[in-house]
Structure 1
Amino acid sequence: MAKYTKKEVLEEAHDLARKMASMEEIERFKQLEAKLNESTKIQSTIKKIKALQKQAVNFQAYGKEEALKKVEKEIDRLQAEIDEIPIVQEFKDTQVVINDILQLVTNTIAREITNEVIRSTGGDVLAGTTGSSKNEHC
């Protein structure tokens, strides 16, 4: 089995990241994000939400429960307004897909590293045990 340096592995990781960045799902995400950034209505509503969130933090810090409830209700209303816009929902759906892909890649790498350790020590991949316990009984 070939040995790799940390630098070589990181270069492969960068290469994988470049490949993933050009995937259809990520290209679509970038297009949607650009459209969202161009929408003055969406950007204006996001600014309002952020300003209200700052107010909410202040109201919470000063124990102003009634004012906090009002602000939180308005934040929820504005968020619901944004969420009704089809492009926003598509953007969120695309985020979920991308996160799922990233999780799949991460889990695959972790699983394969574990399996390689098991194989390289003469262990049993199906049982999930390394060969090191066999060698201790010699």
Structure 2
Amino acid sequence: MANFTKDEILAKAADLAKMIAETDEVDFFKRAEAQINENQKVREMIASMKSLQKQAVNFQNYGKEKAYQQTQSKLTALEEELDELPIVQEFKQSQVDVNDLLQMVASQVSNRVTDIIIETTEGDLLSGETGSKVRAGGNGCS
């Protein structure tokens, strides 16, 4: 069995990252992000939100609770309005899709490493136990 170095594994990971970056999910994410950045209404709403966030921090720092609460209410309403825009919904969905793909790849790698460890130690895939556990488990093979 071949032994690989961390550098070799990281090089393969970089190749995998390049493949992921060239998927439909990532392509859609990039296009959705570009549309968000080019949309005047979205840019104005985000600028307003940043301004309201700064005001809220200032009101909170100076103990102006009523003004703080009013600013927070405006901020929440603006966030809800922004979230209702189809362009924003598409962008958020594209983030979820890319994240799901990354999680799927990470899970597949993790599960496969575990399976290989079990297989190479002559363990039991069904129980998920390595060979050392199976042999020590009192199965009459002492």
- Normalised to the residue count of structure 2, the TM-score between the two structures is 0.86
Q: Show structure 1 runs of 4+ deviating over 4 A.
A: 135-138
- Gaps of at least 5 residues in structure 2 are none
Q: Deviations over 1:110-136 (max 9, x none)?
A: 111111121222211211111123269
Rounded to whole Å, the distance in 1 between the matches of 2:120 and 2:36 is 49
Identity, in percent, stands at: 46
The structure with the largest alpha-carbon Rg is 2
- Gaps of at least 5 residues in structure 1 are none
| 2:25 alignment counterpart | 25
Shift in Å, 1:63: 3.8
Give the 5 Å matches for 1:63-102. 63-102=63-102
Rounded to whole Å, the distance in 1 between the matches of 2:53 and 2:79 is 12
- Normalised to the residue count of structure 1, the TM-score between the two structures is 0.89
| 1:50 alignment counterpart | 50
Q: Deviations over 1:66-109 (max 9, x none)?
A: 22211111111111221222111111111111111111111111
Q: Structure 2 vs 1, CA of residues 130 and 66 (structure 1 numbering), >3 Å: closer, same or farther? A: same
Structure 1 counterpart of 2:91, one-letter code: F
Q: Structure 2 vs 1, CA of residues 62 and 132 (structure 1 numbering), >3 Å: closer, same or farther? A: farther
- Per mean C-alpha deviation after superposition, the further-off stretch among 118-127 and 13-22 is 118-127
RMSD: 1.9
Rounded to whole Å, the distance in 2 between the matches of 1:120 and 1:9 is 19
| 1:110 alignment counterpart | 110
Shift in Å, 1:9: 0.6
Rounded to whole Å, the distance in 1 between the matches of 2:92 and 2:123 is 43
SS class of match (2:118): helix
Aligned length: 138
